Every structure is written in structure tokens, then in C-alpha cells.
Amino acid sequence: MLPGRILWYDAFTKEWNMLEIKNLTKSYGDLLALDHFSLTLEKGEVLGLLGPNGAGKTTLISILAGTVRDFTGSVRFLGHDLFSDRNLKNRLGIVPQDMAFYEELNAMDNLLFWGGLYDVPRDALKKRAAEILERVELSGRMKEPVKNFSGGMKRRLNTAIGLLHRPDLLLLDEPTVGIDVQAKVSILDLIRKVGAEGTGVIFTTHQLAEVENTCSRIAIMDCGRILAQGTMEELIRLVGEKDIVEITGNFPAASFTEALQDLDGNGIELLSAADNLATLAVADTEQIPKTMDRLFRRKLAVTDLKIKTPSLETVFLKLTGRSLRD
């Protein structure tokens, strides 16, 4: 199909979702990496996809990128089956988790090479490369071999390469992993701006703080499926009007769970229990002494107790029973 025809479809895509993923399922042997995963995205939406290690984030991105096959389910992009036409990839930008570029070349040459694989006119490409280097604050070092770059600079270049051909949809796999705060802020800022310009964005992360300020929508996934999605407020409402109690001490997880077994009816909800650390959601703080009483009676040592307001982290705990960082 000609790129022109895709443009023609654009007039209609405004009424459609830019991206529609339905029942995507992918297994590696017995392991279900994606389990009937469904998601839609509209133009200009920035979606943060939160999930712990092994949740299936990279698998999802790789399927959309076309490098992982043998899955079931469907993906429609701009009103087409994403896998029906290679030219659709001209509208899709992907920033992989790996720093996948040529360390021997300088930043400018990398951009010109990678951008050159898309259907972008040569002179436009040069202008855009200079522009994007400006945006990721690498203009000053664009003639230096990339192998001399710091981790943060490489991440920024990695991101820039995915943006060069001005895609309608940008997918980023953990774009901020392992870099300093300054580079992180710069990349998140770029993601926000790109979204504001009308590009759809999905980015995956482990970091709650990142999605809180960057995304218009958040999806929480684990074990290959989406557990919940919505705006920050909507997600926090899932926990209800409750306070969060974080208890640190010296106890096995099992004993802790046992101690609080039949307290549910009193508005106490056990969100997570690990050895020496447990989190509860309580409707009324007056219930806290009752809880502590139970622990003491079982001789479970408590060294610290913190009361917090619900956050995204609480939602995540409630949904997955584990912290994002484990």
C-alpha cells in the first residue's frame, strides 16, 4: 500500500482509536508472557504502562514492533491491521529497552542512518536530526563518537532515534532506566511534549513517580494482563477512602497474615505481607490499636508503623500483592 493511502485514512482515524489491541496472547513454552492483553489508545494520549519485572511489557512492545511473532490476537493501528503492511511502520516509532545504535558513529550520523531507513526525504531528515538533537540537548556533542557518551546521553539519543521520522505512535520501553535524575527529567519532559503535539505515546516503566506526572492515563499490568487502568485519581479511588498503614517489624509473612485473618469485616484490608514488612488499608484509623493488639498477642515484634494517604503505590500493592521493585 502507498503511504498516500494511509494519509487518506487519517481523516477517519480521528473517529477511531489510534491503536486497538485485542486479546493479545503470547506464550514462551509453558510461560504465558501476554494473556489476552487488550488496550486502546487515542491520539495524543500518553499512557504509562506500569508493571514489575517479567510482567510482559517488553514482550508487548516487541510484538507491536514486529520482532516477536507467533502470538494470537489482533492489533489495529490507524484503522489497519498493524501487521498487514510494512509501510505502516513509517507511522510507528519505537524506543527499545536496549541502547541499540552504533557506538562507533557520532550522534548526528546515527540519526541520519536510522532516520534514513524510513521514508523521509533526505534534506528533511537533516533538518529534523538537527532539531531533535537540540530537543534532547545533544547539539553540542553531536560530532563525538557515541561511545564517549554518558549513560544519560545515550538514553536521550536512543529516544531521539525513535522520534526522528515523526511517528503517530511512539512506544518506549523503559526509557529512563539506569540514568541520572537530570537525564530522566529531560526524557519525561520530551515524552510529555510529544504527546501534547498529538503523538500517541505508550511507555513502560517500573517507576511510579514517572507516570504520576507524565501520563494522561496509567495502566497497571502483571502476569501478561492489565489489572487496572485510568487516570491517577481513578486508580487511587480503587483503594477507597482509606488510610494506608505500613508496618515494619520482625515477623514472618505467614504469621502476620494469620494474625489478621478475620479482620476484614472491620474495614481492615491486608494489601501485602512480606517478611518483616506489611501494608494494610484501613477505613478508620481507630482500628489501628485493635490490629496492633492482635500482633502483640501473637508476640510479633513491631518496630515501626507509618500512616500514609493512598498513592499509586498502594494501588499497585492492592492489585498485585507485591511492590514494583521486587
Partner 1 sequence: MRRLKRILRIAGNDIRIMVKDKVFFFWTLAFPILFILLFGYLYKGGETAPPSAELTVLNQDEGRWGAYFLEKIKSPGIVLKTAGTEPAEYNRLIILPPDFSEKIEARKDQALALKKREDASAAAAARVEIRLYQAIARLLSELVLYGDGDLTKFLDGHAEFRDLVTVKTRYPAKTITVVPGGMDHAIPGITVQFIMMMVLIYGGVTVMEDRKKGVLSRLLFSPLSPGALYQAKLLARWLMGMLQALMLFVVGKIFFRLNLGDVPLSLLVIAVFALATAALSVFIGSLMGKEDMIIGLSILLANVFAGLGGCWWPIEVVPPAVRTMGMISPAYWAMDALHKLRFFQGDFAAVAPNLGVLLALAVVLSILAGRFFKIRD
* Shortest Å distance, C-beta 135 to ligand ATP: 26
56 binds ligand ATP (CB under 6 A): yes
* Binding segment toward partner 1, per CB under 8 A, in 12-20, 62-70, 260-268, 275-283: 62-70
Which residue reads 494473556 in cell numbers?
35
* Binding segment toward ligand ATP, per CB under 6 A, in 56-64, 231-239, 299-307, 313-321: 56-64
* Binding segment toward Mg ion, per CB under 5 A, in 7-15, 19-27, 38-46, 49-57: 49-57
Kindly tell me which residue out of 21, 41, 49, 58 binds Mg ion, with binding defined by CB under 5 A.
58
Question: Which of Mg ion, partner 1, ligand ATP, none interacts with 98 (beta carbon under 5 to 8 A by kind)?
Answer: partner 1
Contacts of residues 124-129 at CB distance under 8 Å and 24 or more positions apart, as own/partner, are 125/164, 128/164, 128/166, 129/164
118 binds partner 1 (CB under 8 A): yes
β partners of residue 47: 202, 217
CA distance 168 to 44: 9
Question: Which of Mg ion, partner 1, ligand ATP, none interacts with 101 (beta carbon under 5 to 8 A by kind)?
Answer: partner 1
CA distances from 179 to 85, 151, 184, 271 (A): 36, 6, 6, 31
The set of cell numbers assigned to 209 is 513517580
Q: Name the residue nearer to ligand ATP (CB basis): 3 or 178.
A: 178
* Shortest Å distance, C-beta 65 to ligand ATP: 12
Angle at the Cα of 117 from the Cα atoms of 21 and 58, rounded to 5 degrees: 35
58 binds ligand ATP (CB under 6 A): yes
The set of cell numbers assigned to 228 is 487496572
Q: Name the residue nearer to Mg ion (CB basis): 61 or 107.
A: 61
CA distance 174 to 113: 23
CA distance 206 to 253: 24
Could you tell me the strand order of the sheet in which 268-274 lies? 268-274, 277-282, 243-250, 301-308
* Shortest Å distance, C-beta 182 to Mg ion: 24
Q: Name the residue nearer to ligand ATP (CB basis): 223 or 253.
A: 223
**CB within 8 Å of 47: residues ≥ 6 apart:** 39, 41, 200, 201, 202, 203, 215, 216, 217, 218, 219
From residue 147 to residue 186, the character string flagging contacts with partner 1 as x (rule: CB under 8 A) and all else as - is: --------------x-------------------------
From residue 2 to residue 41, the character string flagging contacts with ligand ATP as x (rule: CB under 6 A) and all else as - is: --------------------------x--x-x--------
Question: Which of ligand ATP, Mg ion, partner 1, none interacts with 191 (beta carbon under 5 to 8 A by kind)?
Answer: none
Ranges of beta strands (E only) in 42-179 are 46-50, 72-77, 80-81, 92-95, 169-173
The residues that touch ligand ATP, with contacts defined as CB under 6 A, are 28, 31, 33, 51, 53-59
